[in-house]
């Protein structure tokens, strides 16, 4: 079932709600530059195991509204809070991939874990996405700036090039075309402004606010958010477990599909 939630004047967030009668709820926050449909193969599997799966398109992506501004982690975390309260969700697992993982961390700190009982960070773009003087990991700011420039000049090629490093296994051309299509559904402006947030945001001071059980699922071959980021999250988040995916890149939810679904189900219980 799909519907919209109004998060502020003129901004509606698209929500896909599957198996809504279940009281075991997973709220999925997609990564840049896709939308909730990236979790198609989770939405096929987990509801059959008794889970309620909710996918949202963050502002600017998928079927959601495309405001000109509002792409900071704070604003998107506030959108998630409105969705959770509007749907009257309780005792949920918050599952975020890549930038969605970063936003989930900001949600946990900014909203004091409101209604969240477990957290799953999937190839999270955290604690920091870009290198800086006291953080030697991740992309350089110049590399992100090049992605921003490419977004504004040839977004289809930018998405195609990004897709080439996203997965760590052979994929059919049909799948690659489908995945690129998810990125093309987004607003170009939102795509660029979220890159700016990825480049500039720092979540290191947010991590101490996370007290719930946390699973950190991360591909050992990730070329977007290197595996060391998962190790750093694990060392900084109390009550966390690190689940490595030996044969996965950034798209571990598909590279090792069966393992991913089973590990997520095992963690949630």
3-state secondary structure of 184: helix
For tokens 């949600």, what's the residue?
A: 107
Q: Name the DSSP letter for residue 225.
A: S
Nearest to 247 by CA among 259, 264, 237, 265: 259
Which of 197, 222, 240, 248 is labelled catalytic? 222
Phi and psi angles of residue 127, each rounded to the nearest 5 degrees, phi first? -75, -25
Whether 206 is a known active-site residue: answer: no
Which of 36, 97, 218, 250 is labelled catalytic? 250
Cβ partners under 8 Å of residue 29, min gap 6: 56, 58, 80, 94, 95, 96, 97, 100, 101, 103, 104
Cα distance between residue 38 and residue 175, in whole Å: 11
Whether 161 is a known active-site residue: answer: no
Which of 98, 187, 197, 248 is labelled catalytic? 98
Whether 250 is a known active-site residue: answer: yes
Cα–Cα distances in angstroms (integers) from residue 176 to residues 53, 124, 182, 204, in the given order: 24, 22, 10, 34
What are the catalytic residues? 98, 222, 250
């Amino acid at each position: 079932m799909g519907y919209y939630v109004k998060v502020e004047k003129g901004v509606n967030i698209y929500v896909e709600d599957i198996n809504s009668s279940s009281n075991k709820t997973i709220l999925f926050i997609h990564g840049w530059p896709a939308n909730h449909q990236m979790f198609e193969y989770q939405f096929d599997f987990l509801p059959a195991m008794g889970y309620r799966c909710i996918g949202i398109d963050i502002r600017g992506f998928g079927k959601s509204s495309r405001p000109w501004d509002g792409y900071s982690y704070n604003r998107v975390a506030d959108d998630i809070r409105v969705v959770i309260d509007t749907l009257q969700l309780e005792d949920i697992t918050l599952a975020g991939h890549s930038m969605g993982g970063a936003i989930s961390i900001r949600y946990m700190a900014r909203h004091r874990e409101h209604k969240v009982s477990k957290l799953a960070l999937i190839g999270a773009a955290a604690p920091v996405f870009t290198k800086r003087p006291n953080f030697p990991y991740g992309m350089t700011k110049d590399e992100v700036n090049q992605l921003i420039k490419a977004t504004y000049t040839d977004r289809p090629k930018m998405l195609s090039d990004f897709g080439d490093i996203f997965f760590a296994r052979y994929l059919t051309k049909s799948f690659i075309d489908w995945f690129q299509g998810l990125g093309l559904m987004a607003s170009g402006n939102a795509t660029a402004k979220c890159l700016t947030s990825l480049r500039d945001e720092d979540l290191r001071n947010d991590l101490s606010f996370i007290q719930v059980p946390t699973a950190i699922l991360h591909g050992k071959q990730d070329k977007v958010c290197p595996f060391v980021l998962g190790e750093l999250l694990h060392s900084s988040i109390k009550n966390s477990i690190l689940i490595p995916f030996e044969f996965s890149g950034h798209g571990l939810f598909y590279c090792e599909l069966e393992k991913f679904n089973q590990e997520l189900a095992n963690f949630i219980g």
